Amino acid sequence: MAERVVNEKNGQCDNLRTSLPVPMFSRNDFNIWSVLKNCIGKELSKITMPVVFNEPLSFLQRMTEYMEYAKLLRVASEQETPLERLKYVSAFAVSALASNWERLGKPFNPLLGETYELTRPEFRIICEQVSHHPPISAFHADSESFRFHGSIHPKLKFWGKSVEIQPKGVVTVEFPKLNEAYSWSNVNCCVHNVIVGKLWIEQYGMMEVVSHQHGLKATLNFKPSGWNNKDLHRVEGYITDRNKRKTHFLYGKWTEFIKCTDYVSYEEYIKENAHKFKRNADERSKSPNESPANTPRKVLSKLNSLKMSSFRSLSIQEPDDPPEPSEGDIPKSDSTYSIDIPNSVTLWEAESRPANTAEYYQFTNFAMSLNQLEEHMKQPRALCPTDSRLRPDIRKLEQGDMDGAAAEKTRLEEKQRENRKKSKKGQEDQVLFPRWFNQSTNPHTKQDDWIYKGGYWDRNDDNLDLDIF
């Protein structure tokens, strides 16, 4: 295995790339309307999207972005009390969403049996697509100090003006040396202005990070932006003890940072700054999940007037289209509502994105390297044959070959359908997938989950037919 030089300052490998082979293809001349206009209120997992709307990553790779701030789990494991550990686990749960901001490209749907592995100084992770219908992705990460695992069943719905992404599933952090486990479910994500205006992303909903052994809980509220954008990106919540007494206040922005202070300091601060936490009675609140019934008539009128064009010739905006309304702009945070409570400790801060991020799908530095074939991976049998890096459609999109990517995407989807038919007819000698995970009960949450069987890192692929690409 080739050596990788590790930068001790940031825990990353110095030979990892900081850009993609070519800049992304412009989407300005394409409308998502032509694909989505007949899908209002429907689940989108079975809708084939043109490759122009994709980013050159599989959902397995996108899921691996959970681990960008894995150092927070190591820091958590080093804390002396369960309360301090919960603080950093909660910060990790929020940090996992930071890379979503401005990421408007759709990851490629993984094929059944597709895998993805990644090794970094702080961890190693293996992901597998364990189910095709419904689509379920499972992962297991470990290090000397923690284990992090879970399964995600993403659901997408189109609500007229927005697309809602529901990341169904529970994720779990274990500290084996401490005999502790923490679990939570992720909040929903909404892509606004899919019909009129500029696309932008919002995370919203309640997240509960539960300490199973100690009865502690962090309850975090990811706030909708609100009518005046006062709550844009804001996260606020409390830590409660086993007696449900509030002991600490957590606050920040899921795009930037999370801080923590004791509850007494929070109460003192709110007495003088109540306007920063409460809405006025006459304020309207924008719901990120807008059903068709709440979609403005002018928007529905424009939507219904569109004719469904083929994927080969997507609808292109005409020069005489009316100007986009102001409500279609990307909201900006109102700095007058910034919060900085005395006695606060910063648990997490997001790293700056590379200067060229807008040219490369708004990728973070971490995301830039996820599809990179590192030197040691180019050796024979170094990678599992089912690894996402070997998918030709993703590779071609990354290299700027849009037509080639679309052709390969279609070929792989047809190949998967044929393999599924053979499997149903019993024409395959054995069912190989899923290979690394078993459907079982999570011992901490008592819910159905996909649990890692072990063996991936010591596998032998020589005698298996693993040709899914």
**Residue 164: CATH number of its domain:** 2.40.160.120
Place of tokens 């895998």: 115
Question: In the structure, what pLDDT confidence band is assigned to residue 5 with cuts at 50, 70 and 90?
Answer: very low
Determine, yes or no, domain membership for 15. no
Ramachandran region of residue 181, left (φ > 0), alpha (ψ -120 to 50) or beta?
A: beta
Q: Indicate if the pLDDT at residue 320 is higher than 60.
A: no
398 has a pLDDT exceeding 80: yes
- Cβ(31)–Cβ(317) below 8 Å: yes
Select the more confidently predicted residue: 48 or 133: 133
Which residue range forms the structural domain that includes residue 89? 32-278+326-463
> Residues 225-263: pLDDT tens digits?
877 788 899 999 999 999 999 999 999 999 999 999 999
What mean pLDDT comes out for the span 323-344? 68
Task: Pick the more confident residue, 5 or 340.
Answer: 340
Q: Domains in the chain: how many in total?
A: 1
273-287, 413-427, 430-444 — most confident range: 430-444
Rounded to two decimals, the pTM is: 0.85
Over residues 344-356, the pLDDT tens digits come to 999 999 999 999 9
Assess if residue 305 is contained within a domain: no
- For residue 469, being part of any structural domain is answered with no
> Mean pLDDT over residues 454-467, rounded?
90
pLDDT bin (cut points 50, 70, 90) of residue 194 is confident
Would you place residue 49 in the very low, low, confident or very high pLDDT band (cuts 50, 70, 90)?
confident
Q: Is residue 321 part of a domain?
A: no
Predicted local distance difference test score (pLDDT) of residue 75: 98
The answer to the question of residue 172 being in a domain is yes
Residue 1 lies in a domain: no
pLDDT of residue 161: 79
What is the structure's pLDDT at 179?
A: 97
Residue 358 counted as domain residue: yes
Please tell me the predicted confidence (pLDDT) of residue 52: 87
Average pLDDT over residues 10-37: 73
In a domain, 20, yes or no: no
The mean pLDDT value of the chain amounts to: 84
Position 44 scores a pLDDT of: 57
